[in-house]
Amino acid sequence: MIVTTKKLFELAYGKYALGAYNINNAEQTMGLFRGCVDSQAPFIIQISKGARSYTDKLMLEAIIRAADQIFPQAVFAVHLDHGDEKTCMDCIASGFYSSVMIDASHEAYEKNIEITKRVVDAAHARGIVVEAELGQLGGVEEHVAVDEANAKLTDPNQAKDFVTRSGCDSLACAIGTSHGAFKFSGTQGLRFDVLVEIQKRLPGFPLVMHGSSSVPQEEVARINAAGGRLAGAKGVDANQFRRAAELGVTKINIDTDGRLVWTRVHREFFRDFPEKFDLRDPGKVFMAEYARFIAAKNEKLGSAGQLAAVRAALG
């Protein structure tokens, strides 16, 4: 069942966070639904601009509609990840997405508000909710490269004004994470001090954490042992998700970790079975491994086991 994030965030606020997982193909989608149903978790499917053009945006929509039929128990939102204004408007017009992210965080403050408000007005007219971003993550985002050294954390003093004037429904905050597999150097980590200040100014308002893959070291080691080269990869400690949830984070974005599962499965498969060439053989292993990975992640997020309560609240 496709829902907006509004009710999901209300139910989760202060208690747990929903996993927001990027998908690009049928195998990821099957593993995602299987993992969320197995762990009885509501969830958010994220589609990036790159994912929309990988096969075709209609292909992804069709895959998700099919998964909804295959797993009738599932409760999820369909969300555009890191949209520009044009892509947001396209998703709003499609009638398929229940949530969009407008990412104008690379623009000057006033311009960010202006663009976000235009998207909010169009989305709300269709019953669609909007995530916006204030501050900039380190690393490489879809349409903007930000030097880690210059990454700008969210300014808590701007948060209330931004939310009030843009009308957004949730706020992606930059609190020290970055996208990809190489997040922190040295003792860097999540800036809970900044999150505390944001929550003080926006009590009860849903916050979003991007760049939240954990980059498990055992996964990286297996990839490297099977021919990969991912030296120095490092991610967010998944044991910190619950603390973030207590501080108002209701959505935690995870993409890179799923890519690592895919890479490990396929590298190991072709190393161990060099004579094979049926794409379905590693595909089957991947779907099962991805489902296990998703279920384990939902346990860390606290969303596992919440499905019955969410279904009851949705009526």
210 near ligand 13P, rule: CB under 6 A: yes
The Cα-based distances of 5 to 43, 45, 108, 234 in angstroms read 9, 11, 27, 29
# binding residues, ligand G3H (CB under 6 A) = 10
Which does residue 40 touch among ligand G3H, ligand 13P, Zn ion, none (CB within 5 to 8 A, set by kind)? Answer: none
**Tokens representing residue 170 in the block:** 């949730």
Q: Which is nearer to ligand 13P, 39 or 46 (CB)?
A: 46
Which does residue 263 touch among ligand 13P, ligand G3H, Zn ion, none (CB within 5 to 8 A, set by kind)? Answer: none
How many helices (H) and strands (E) the chain has is answered by 13, 10
Cβ pair 76, 53 in contact under 8 A: no
52 near ligand 13P, rule: CB under 6 A: no
Contacts with ligand 13P in 166-185 (CB under 6 A)?
179-180
210 near Zn ion, rule: CB under 5 A: yes
Among 255, 261, 294, 307, binds ligand 13P (CB under 6 A): 255
Least distance between ligand G3H and beta carbon 204 (Å): 26
Among 84, 133, 169, 255, binds ligand G3H (CB under 6 A): 255
Least distance between ligand 13P and beta carbon 252 (Å): 9
- Residue carrying structure tokens 């501080």: 247
Contacts with ligand G3H in 187-216 (CB under 6 A)?
none
Among 112, 170, 199, 213, binds ligand 13P (CB under 6 A): 213
Least distance between ligand G3H and beta carbon 166 (Å): 20
Distance CA 92, CA 94 (A): 5
85 near ligand G3H, rule: CB under 6 A: no
254 near ligand 13P, rule: CB under 6 A: yes
Which does residue 87 touch among ligand 13P, Zn ion, ligand G3H, none (CB within 5 to 8 A, set by kind)? Answer: none
Among 39, 253, 298, 306, binds ligand 13P (CB under 6 A): 253
Of 200, 199, 219, 218, nearest to 209 by C-alpha is 199
Contacts with ligand 13P in 68-97 (CB under 6 A)?
81-82
- Measured between its terminal Cα atoms, the distance across the chain in Å is 12
Q: At what angle do helices 256-272 and 280-301 cross, to 10 degrees?
A: 140
How many CA atoms does the CB half-sphere of 55 hold within 13 Å?
11
Least distance between ligand 13P and beta carbon 313 (Å): 26
Q: Which is nearer to ligand 13P, 63 or 254 (CB)?
A: 254
Q: What is the DSSP string of 15-81?
A: T--EEEEE--SHHHHHHHHHHHHHTT--EEEEEEHHHHHHS-HHHHHHHHHHHHHH-TT--EEEEEE
Cβ pair 143, 82 in contact under 8 A: yes
Among 34, 57, 79, 179, binds ligand G3H (CB under 6 A): 179
Least distance between ligand 13P and beta carbon 183 (Å): 7
Among 82, 251, 264, 297, binds ligand G3H (CB under 6 A): 82
The Cα-based distances of 222 to 183, 217, 235, 272 in angstroms read 19, 9, 16, 13
Cβ pair 43, 298 in contact under 8 A: yes
Distance CA 213, CA 238 (A): 8
- Residue carrying structure tokens 């971003």: 133
Q: Which is nearer to Zn ion, 141 or 310 (CB)?
A: 141
Q: Which amino acid is at 161?
A: D
79 near Zn ion, rule: CB under 5 A: no
Interface positions with ligand 13P (CB under 6 A):
22, 81-82, 179-180, 210-213, 253-257
